[in-house]
Structure 1
Amino acid sequence: MIWYTVLVLAVAAERTAELAVARRNARWSLARGGTESGQRHYPAMVVLHTGLLAGCLYEVLAAETPFVPAVGWPALAVVLAAQGLRWWCIRTLGPQWNTRVIVVPGLPRVTGGPYRRLRHPNYVAVVAEGIALPLVHGAWITALAFTVCNAVLLIVRIRCEDTALATTAEAPAAAGARA
């Protein structure tokens, strides 16, 4: 359980680093005339992602779930791959990346890196991590609950991003929020 706690805390630290990058990038985007959309769903996203981390630890501790190597090791590999994909997205979007939906008019749509093949690759990372992180140590309920809630939230989030991109003055613009 100790190593799993360290893993979840490491993911929490990574999320904190993401928020620092997002705040810096939000200032960059807003200074260039960026407009924010989706403020209403953002708090739900924060609660959901915080709940994922807390749920992982709580379920494993409360239910005393054992580590099952046949599930845990592959799930850990997926968690690590998801982190790699997430940071590839962040690097590819540069200052346009954000956890919020901020679109800067006039910027071209980013089509390099993982965006060359996927429309929303960071959400692939979020989905993979949301399933895999709990399963590393057998937190099946957390994996299922996060996946269902995240699916609903992603429907809202992706619609918000697509609408924001489509309604900018100089469409297609780059999404600052391909988070």
Structure 2
Amino acid sequence: MKISARLAVLAVVSSLAYLGLAVWGLGGFAAFFSHGALVVTALATLAMTVASLFTEVNLSSGEREDRDNRWVIPAFGIIGVVSGYLPAYTDRIDFWTFGGEGVRWLGAVLFIIGGALRLWPVFVLGKRFSGLVAIQPGHQLVTEGIYHRLRNPSYLGVLVLAVGWALVFRSGVGLVLAALTLIPLIARIHSEEALLRGQFGAQYEAYCARSWRLIPGVY
């Protein structure tokens, strides 16, 4: 296990709490696990949590950190707690819901794709992947592989995850919450890019010129 014990415990507790909120919102275990797509989503969540225990993600401020961007951490936390419960609850009371089991399965597929996209770059970056916006010791710019045309694949994964989570509950409210994640997400991206531009200069500018920030062909 490469992740620190404290972060490992946090990852496990957070995942279980997130699933617990969804089970509570939908009305209990029987209601939640009566849908195959939700069973798959729960198993995928646990699998992602186990996979995260073998990453080197950390909370190191490294050699230089943009401390002004720390506000995005509680912002993500608040949106996450609300997203854990509210889409499931609106599903239970049939408020602003749409579609049927097909939508749930589409959501499950997107959730898995988003999870893979979220974790893949974490393994690629290793110790350079910090929960803080920071330049780590020996930091090198990665511009190949999954980063070849997309500068923030892990953040795209977060967005796809959020949309998938909303769809497994057929929740319009969930989609609104997914859209709200763009606010701290884009703020963090701009902060990271400013730090990387200051660290790598022309090399980073050239990389930006041939790659997309978040969504290929759009942004």
2:170 corresponds to 1:138: yes
Tell me how far apart the structure 1 counterparts of residues 48 and 84 of structure 2 sit (CA, whole Å): 10
Residue by residue, what CA displacement relative to the aligned partner does 1:94-142 show, whole Å, maximum 9, x if unpaired?
1111332222254211123311121111111111111121112311211
Q: Summarize the alignment of residues 95-134 of structure 1 with structure 2, pairs less than 5 Å apart.
A: 95-104=127-136, 106-134=138-166
- The one of the two structures with greater contact order (alpha-carbon pairs below 8 A, sep at least 6) is 1
Indicate the percent of aligned positions where both proteins have the same amino acid.
Answer: 21
CA separation of 1:116 and 1:94: change in aligned 2, threshold 3 A: same
Tell me how far apart the structure 1 counterparts of residues 39 and 64 of structure 2 sit (CA, whole Å): 37
CA separation of 1:74 and 1:6: change in aligned 2, threshold 3 A: closer
Matched-pair contact (CA < 8 Å) for 2:57–2:131: no
Matched-pair contact (CA < 8 Å) for 1:8–1:53: no
CA separation of 1:92 and 1:19: change in aligned 2, threshold 3 A: closer
Residue by residue, what CA displacement relative to the aligned partner does 1:63-99 show, whole Å, maximum 9, x if unpaired?
3768713322222111111111112111111111133
CA separation of 1:91 and 1:132: change in aligned 2, threshold 3 A: same
Residue by residue, what CA displacement relative to the aligned partner does 1:14-61 show, whole Å, maximum 9, x if unpaired?
676688678x6436x44x535353112221112112322222322222
Gaps of at least 5 residues in structure 2 are 1-31, 205-219
2:85 corresponds to 1:54: yes
CA separation of 1:50 and 1:15: change in aligned 2, threshold 3 A: farther
State the match for 2:182 in structure 1.
151
Tell me how far apart the structure 2 counterparts of residues 15 and 81 of structure 1 sit (CA, whole Å): 11
State the match for 1:177 in structure 2.
none
Number of equivalent positions: 168
CA separation of 1:69 and 1:88: change in aligned 2, threshold 3 A: same
State the match for 1:162 in structure 2.
193
TM-score using structure 1 length: 0.74
2:113 corresponds to 1:88: no
Tell me how far apart the structure 2 counterparts of residues 90 and 164 of structure 1 sit (CA, whole Å): 19
CA separation of 1:11 and 1:100: change in aligned 2, threshold 3 A: farther
Tell me how far apart the structure 2 counterparts of residues 42 and 131 of structure 1 sit (CA, whole Å): 20
Greater radius of gyration (CA): 2
State the match for 2:63 in structure 1.
33
Tell me how far apart the structure 2 counterparts of residues 87 and 163 of structure 1 sit (CA, whole Å): 23
Letter in 2 for 1:116: H
Matched-pair contact (CA < 8 Å) for 1:34–1:104: yes
Tell me how far apart the structure 1 counterparts of residues 40 and 130 of structure 2 sit (CA, whole Å): 24
CA separation of 1:6 and 1:98: change in aligned 2, threshold 3 A: farther
3-state secondary structure, aligned to 2:155:
helix
Gaps of at least 5 residues in structure 1 are 174-179
